[in-house]
Structure 1
Amino acid sequence: MTTTTETRAGFSPRVALQKVGTSLSNMVMPNIPALIAWGILTAFFIPDGWTPNEPLATAVGPMIHYLLPLLIANTGGRMIYEARGAVVGVIATMGVIAGSDWLIDQENAAALATWIADGHAAEDFAELGKVHMFIGAMIMAPLAAWVMKKLDRLWQDHIPAGFEMLVNMFSAGIFGFIALVAGFFGLAPIVNGLMSALSAGVGALVDAHLLPLVSILIEPAKIFFLNNAINHGVLTPLGLTEASQNGKSVLFLLEANPGPGVGILLAYTIFGRGAARASAPGAAIIQFFGGIHEIYFPYVLMKPILILAAIGGGMAGVAVNVAFGTGLIAPASPGSIFAIFGVAARDSYLGIALAVLAAAAVSFTLSALLLRIGKQDDGDIAAATAKMEQMKGKKSSVAGALTGAGAGASGIAVSGHTGPISRIVFACDAGMGSSAMGATVLRKKVRAAGFADVEVTNKAISSLSDEWDVVVTQKELADRAHERTASAVHVAVDQFMNSPRYDEVVELVKARNSGDAPEADAAPAAPAAAAPAAEAGPEIMPLSSIVIAGTARDAASAIDEAGGLLVAAGAVDEGYVAAMHQREATVSTFMGNGLAIPHGTGEAKASISRSGMSLIRYPSPIDWNGNEVRFVVGIAGVGNEHLDLLQKVAMIFSDPAQVQRLEDAGTAEEIRAIFDED
């Protein structure tokens, strides 16, 4: 458990290892389908496969050696710096792969020369196999993407207008080349040595018949959510190397065996008490067939001595697998009995079944004994689940099956991330207008509270992944956001400019990050400065796109009016205006403080020629789905070109005094002058 001192100091070895494991898992898990595809190819078409096929078997080597590590590199780089990070991450990882191959070739050449000098025949020489760079990809790709991100920030404000694409392309290409060379000569030797050491260690355990002892490490690590670092950082790379040579690997079964957890849950079903006993049968079904192992962790935490039962069951399962020479052809994820048998080697079905039964029988016997001999309360499964989630650092996606978690009265869902908050995303349908303005307002409040290190950004819901601590979105879109970010705290708002939910988010950040908060008298960091509107304005929102007396009398007509200005400016075609109406029919673009910002759907980007904005002021408020609107800002964005001006819109309309200035302005030039101010 993390101590109070560790939390206040900002460091906990357990939490740090959890974060490393989570990062490794986030790189590997999205690419499991590719690993399964490779496993199927191996199972059927290699010489020892079900249906040997020499032409198709030629794809086995390139997939394991190039495709799979580069897919992981792509994912790892994208996690850090989206598409740009993915590209430089793949380039850098290619350097590590080539460097490793070059080193192996040098070692084979030297060893062959010695072999022949000793009088042996060259054809009898056994070459060293290639090292598959999964660990190299998981190190090099995120590192290269992170450096690229930092470099871009150094010069992004100094690029002359019109040279952005040139600088962005060449800077990524040049740095990618440098990272490739660094990986070739720097990281490749380190990873080769590390893989050799790890392989030798596993080989020594197998030769000494001690492999079951790894359960002493793996089973407790699962309970404390440290298994991802072991599984994806060590077992998966070693297992894939072994599977590429032998067609299967027992290492994939060390952590995935569902037997230990099922045995514990069955013991609770028979010998447990209260809520724990009542919920255990359902949890066993979820764990065994669904593969969600974490659902049995709270049952162990209610009586920690049951870790011994998990260890005993794990050791029994490994022992049987070793005795029968079983293995999987690819990682089984999730650890469901269906997934395990789906990637089992053709000679391993019986052995795996016996291993699962043995693990379940041993853990059941030990759990039953331990439950009977010690004091057992009524089974506070809710408290144990909360304890588990505290260790995990976020809410469990299956905790509701045990505790029935719901939403809090404040409007912030109590299900979600439970640790310190460092990343907040504001999501909307297109990720272009509503979310950008909402993120600006919320960012200002978070910065004003003294949390300059908390990231607040905006994205389209379609681009979300389950990596955010807090997700804020419009209430109509909450379900879609939850599907993509199930482990986050979710906040639904009715309007974007002055929602009371923002203050609740700030209070949540204060409560969660109190140990990391700056001194009370520290000056809060200023929001990121917007680019001068004098540069972006004439292109994005020219004077011809500002109307001080709109003629529309309802929301639909106002959308036509705002969209017509974008068409007249050459920013969009007529199809974009229709998409603006489609967007409004799905989710209201009313922002609050008398502002609406209609814009197209995410699918309408093909109708945008360049970024553009229009602004219309209405003499009398018009009805916007039951809300009064005086200002309508139409938006069409390409990339992030329009975001600086949009942030300015958000800052102005969050200040009643500035809104009054806009209402009092007599000309389009006066309105533009307000946006041009620093």
Structure 2
Amino acid sequence: MTTTSPAARKPGGARVGVQKFGTFLSGMVMPNIAAFIAWGFITALFIPDGWLGSNSPVESWRWADSAILGGGEIDGVVYPGLVGPIITYLLPLLIAFTGGRMVHGHRGGVVGAVAAMGVISGASGTVMFLGAMIVGPLTALVLKWVEKPWQGKIKPGFEMLVDNFSAGFVAFFMALASFFWLAPVMRWITDVLGAAVGWLVETQLLPLASIIVEPAKVLFLNNAINHGVFTPLGTEQVQETGRSLLFLIEANPGPGAGLLLALTVFGVGVARATAPGAFIIQFLGGIHEVYFPYVLAKPLLIVGLIAGGATGVLTNMIFQSGLVAPAAPGSIFAVLIQTAPGSHVGVILSVVFSAAVTFAITAPILLASRRRDIAAEAASGDPLAAAIARTEANKGKSSSTLSNLAASAASTSTAVLTAPIRNIVFACDAGMGSSAMGASVLRNKFKKAEIDGVTVTNQAIANLDGTADLVITQQQLTDRAKAQSPNSIHVSVDNFMNSPKYEEVVEMVRAQRDSDA
């Protein structure tokens, strides 16, 4: 773990920029995942080939209602149903509103949603989602720029009038621009992306996507890949075929499960001790981030993840199986619930086979380095420090020397250390999952130490507002957290779930309380 003061170096770099962009994309989709899941249920039940649809072998007790809900014609009356309007209007508008709100608050969300109607009306399919991701935040940004010259200069009583009309004009012109200009461009881009995916499927090369996806996941781009790329493309496929395997390229829990099982059997030290608990969290809870630190500690393990991910994709291609909506979080329960009718065999086998292949490849890697790992831990005395040392060796570049929190804190500025620590935030890419569990662990430690008056919460890095006294992040995400909250103390850990350094955080707070007494 490393601790840095507000005076630390300015974070930056291409990796941080890519992570920020990916987080922004996923930030527009993730808050609306519940809507995608609800649409998936409706699709699975009421489309013609669904469980209760008109072509289903299951005889519906009220076929007419099922046909109406799924859309269709009954007695000469055409019903739009729920499936089409939700995907055509509701989901893109939710994405556009969320993106606009991220840029310029509620008013930014409103103008973003209005402008997104231009894309929805001028195109169809994936264009709606990708276009909404662009025009929503862009319109909010335009509104922010337009209003900047007269901010704080409007006479009292006229603020609402000016704000409403400026927002209305911006929304009007951006809706027209998105209809006439953005929609055709996005249609062309979508045709290119769709043709690329179609070519990969036709040539049986789609499993090669795992070569990019699995390493990107470990670099904390998992949400950006899944919700920023595969969710829009997969949603369009569901509308056409009733299922999509794209939802499982990133979200398949099999590779991570195989890795953690291999570590449980053949790992050493703290990795072996924590892997069983991590397996439960990853496979059943769907929090894939929990296995990333193990790969960062031994990067060669990524080979097993790539092979397992490719196996899962190939299995779904062979069985022509897929999901009806995103599996979020990537739990086996979420995967099974969202599995399309008739796809359960293929989906289950894709999870099992991908886990088995990852296990089979990871096990020899762990066995080959077992003696070295044991010797390194025996010489180190701190398994996490030894893991970081191995990470540095495998990456071929150095990082800050891991030291305990007390020693690191002693090197920070006096102004930071004398300020009482009352607000601690665990921050991760999405603000859920692993950071929530880490916050729970630290809260319990404060409770056992009988220290009150300290608030421990979790949130997304993008939502850090600089009010936290101490921010705890995983090592790969610390640079982004520094940019968002430069005046906080920043603590980097390798594993939210089982870091021995939490005890030192508690001791630092206790020491501050004693010195103030």
The correspondence for 1:192, drawn from 184, 187, 196, is 187
Written as runs of structure 1 = structure 2, the 5 A alignment for 1:507-522 is: 509=487
Rounded to whole Å, the distance in 2 between the matches of 1:247 and 1:381 is 48
Aligned position for 1:202: 197
* 1:79 matches 2:54: no
* 1:29 matches 2:33: no
3-state DSSP of counterpart to 1:416:
strand
Deviation at 1:133, TM superposition (A): 0.8
The count of aligned residue pairs is 399
Check 1:271–1:310 CA distance in 2 against 1; reply closer, same or farther (3 A cut): same
Partners of 1:69 and 1:132 within 8 A in 2: no
Partners of 2:237 and 2:244 within 8 A in 1: yes
The correspondence for 1:93, drawn from 89, 96, 116, is 116
* 1:17 matches 2:27: no
**TM-score, normalising length from structure 2?**
0.70
2:120 corresponds to which letter in structure 1? I
Rounded to whole Å, the distance in 1 between the matches of 2:318 and 2:330 is 21
Deviation at 1:204, TM superposition (A): 0.5
Aligned position for 1:215: 210
Written as runs of structure 1 = structure 2, the 5 A alignment for 1:351-500 is: 351-374=346-369, 376-378=372-374, 382-383=384-385, 411=421, 416-417=426-427, 479=455, 482=457, 491=468
Partners of 1:65 and 1:132 within 8 A in 2: no
3-state DSSP of counterpart to 1:482:
strand
Deviation at 1:216, TM superposition (A): 0.6
Rounded to whole Å, the distance in 2 between the matches of 1:371 and 1:259 is 19
Q: What do residues 7-36 of structure 1 show as CA deviations (whole Å, max 9, x unaligned)?
A: 978642221111111111111011111111
Partners of 2:142 and 2:170 within 8 A in 1: no
Check 1:389–1:270 CA distance in 2 against 1; reply closer, same or farther (3 A cut): closer
Rounded to whole Å, the distance in 2 between the matches of 1:357 and 1:326 is 14
Structure of higher CA gyration radius: 1
Deviation at 1:188, TM superposition (A): 1.1
3-state DSSP of counterpart to 1:188:
helix
Partners of 1:312 and 1:363 within 8 A in 2: yes
3-state DSSP of counterpart to 1:332:
coil
Aligned position for 1:40: 41
Rounded to whole Å, the distance in 2 between the matches of 1:330 and 1:507 is 35
3-state DSSP of counterpart to 1:254:
helix
Deviation at 1:416, TM superposition (A): 3.2
* 1:275 matches 2:258: no
Unaligned regions of 5+ residues in structure 2, if any? 1-7, 54-65, 71-80, 393-403, 410-416, 430-435, 437-450, 471-482, 491-517
3-state DSSP of counterpart to 2:341:
coil
The correspondence for 1:183, drawn from 151, 174, 178, is 178
1:219 corresponds to which letter in structure 2? E
Q: What do residues 284-310 of structure 1 show as CA deviations (whole Å, max 9, x unaligned)?
A: 110000101011111111111111010
Aligned position for 2:139: 144
Rounded to whole Å, the distance in 2 between the matches of 1:384 and 1:319 is 37
1:70 corresponds to which letter in structure 2? L
* 1:284 matches 2:270: no
The correspondence for 1:294, drawn from 254, 266, 289, is 289
Deviation at 1:321, TM superposition (A): 1.1
Rounded to whole Å, the distance in 2 between the matches of 1:236 and 1:72 is 12
Aligned position for 1:314: 309
Rounded to whole Å, the distance in 2 between the matches of 1:384 and 1:89 is 49
Rounded to whole Å, the distance in 2 between the matches of 1:322 and 1:506 is 42
* 1:67 matches 2:63: no
More helix by share: 2
Rounded to whole Å, the distance in 1 between the matches of 2:274 and 2:198 is 41
Partners of 2:424 and 2:468 within 8 A in 1: no
**TM-score, normalising length from structure 1?**
0.54
Check 1:23–1:418 CA distance in 2 against 1; reply closer, same or farther (3 A cut): closer
1:54 corresponds to which letter in structure 2? A
Question: Cα RMSD between the aligned structures?
Answer: 3.5
Q: Show structure 1 runs of 4+ deviating over 3 A.
A: 7-11, 378-390, 412-419, 475-479, 483-493, 505-508
Partners of 2:422 and 2:454 within 8 A in 1: no
- With a CA cutoff of 8 Å and minimum separation of 6, indicate the structure with the bigger relative contact order: 2
* 1:252 matches 2:280: no
Aligned position for 1:572: none
Check 1:185–1:385 CA distance in 2 against 1; reply closer, same or farther (3 A cut): farther
1:69 corresponds to which letter in structure 2? P
* 1:229 matches 2:224: yes
